[in-house]
Every structure is written in C-alpha cells, then in structure tokens.
Structure 1
C-alpha cells in the first residue's frame, strides 16, 4: 500500500471489525469514502459507482494489496462500526481545520436532505 497522506490520516483509528475475513484495511475504506464524498457522491451506491468508475486510477494511486479495492458494501460496513468522533478528529487534522470551542453549524432539514 502506498504512503498517501489521507491513508496516514486514518491510520491511527481503531478498527472495530473482526479480523476474520478482512480483505481491506480501515484507512483505505475511509480514504475512499472521504474522496468519494468530496467528489460529490451522495449515498453508498453512488460511492460504489465512483469506486468502480475510477478503479484503475485508484489502484495506481493507492496500490492496494492484490490490486483490490473495497466495494460500496465494504465501505458501508466499515463506516457502520467506526467511531465518528475519532473519524472527525482525523479528518479535521487532515484538512487542517480547527473548530472553535462551542462552534456549531446551523443546518435545516432541507439542507440535510439535499433538496
């Protein structure tokens, strides 16, 4: 696996998944999820389509073991078990975002739903 900064950003996260049957490591799954969301994909099927569409460039970039990328369901399962606070801390460090104490973001239902 290549030493890309976004992979390093998630390397310290505890992987809550069982070791049996794991093909893809957590940092790779989180990196692909983060990049897919940054590319404007909403939902796991769209993320899976994005991973499939850019399969060769992503393999060249990340150099995963056996040239295999996780599917959308693997990314989804990894996200279901990850600690979101730890993920957000890693993400804020990666993007060098320092939230102020007590800072909140005001969103309404239409923004959250995307309409």
Structure 2
C-alpha cells in the first residue's frame, strides 16, 4: 500500500505561499497579531505558546514549505535565533529553543479559529506590503 501524501497546509497559511520570507524585524508584528487569537488547547500540557507555533508555521510556509511535514522539518532545522524571534520559550541551556513537532503543528492548525487566523495573517501581509511600499 502506498504511503499517504503529506497533509497540505491550511488556507490561512496558503495565502503566504509565494511571498518573500520574513525578516526577523517583521516577526514582532506577526506575533502581536497571532497573540490576539484564542488558544483552543487546554492549559495543561501546553509546551509551546500558540503564537509561537503559528509563527513558526507561517515562517516555514514563507520559506517554501507546502505540507505539515515540511513545516515540521523546516522548524526542526531552523536556527535557535530564528525560533527565538518567533517566540520560543527559553528552557534548556543546551538547546534553548525547541521547535514544535509535526503533531503539535497539525493539532493547533486543526483546532484554531480558521477565520480569525486567516484575518491575522491577511492583516500582517497587508501591513507588510504597505511598509514595503513606504520603504521603496
């Protein structure tokens, strides 16, 4: 039996496909917008803050990830500095930033309010485009 194809990215992240990768100085605005989303997870057992998981997923898609597996692979390979800019919690001195697993990314993206997530990403992209026009 052939392996199942990788799960595609959800629509909220799909609008990022084909955009230029994010610069670290653009991430605070993205995190601020994602911080407004309600976290659908129970408090107990949360390893990563919601805005961090979503920002990592967004950055992975901006870097070319086209599936949940690719998002998790990108996150696992991302440098600590970038994960920290995405909102990673500092816990272990040997590996200060831990990337969310594929299962975590998948569960969060399945449970998040899709309309609110889409609006947050869309608002960030609009503000990013306006800043780029103003600078250029």
- Which TM-score applies when normalising by structure 2? 0.63
Residues 48 and 72, structure 1, Cα contact 8 Å, conserved in 2: yes
Alignment correspondent of 2:88 = 64
Instruction: Find the counterpart in structure 2 of residue 12 from structure 1.
Output: 36
For structure 1, the 5+ residue unaligned runs are 98-115
Q: CA deviation at 1:64?
A: 1.8
CA displacement at 1:69 relative to structure 2: 2.3
Counterparts of 1:89 and 1:31 in 2: how far apart (Å)? Answer: 14
Cα deviation for residue 83 of structure 1 reads 0.8
* Runs ≥4 residues deviating over 2 A: 55-63
SS of alignment partner, residue 35 of structure 2: coil
| 2:119 is the alignment partner of 1:89 | yes
Q: Evaluate the alpha carbon distance shift between residue 60 and residue 12 of structure 1 in structure 2; reply closer, same or farther with a 3 A threshold.
A: closer
Structure 1 residues 43 and 33, CA gap change in structure 2 (3 angstroms): same
Q: CA deviation at 1:38?
A: 1.4
RMSD across aligned positions (CA): 1.8
**CA 1:62–1:31 in 2, change beyond 3 Å: closer, same or farther?**
closer
**1: CA distance between counterparts of 2:87 and 2:126?**
25
Q: Specify the SS of the correspondent of 2:126.
A: coil
C-alpha deviation, 1:63, in angstroms = 5.3
Cα distance in 2 for residues equivalent to 1:46 and 1:16: 23
1:33 aligned partner: 57
Q: Structure 1 residue 59: deviation in Å?
A: 3.1
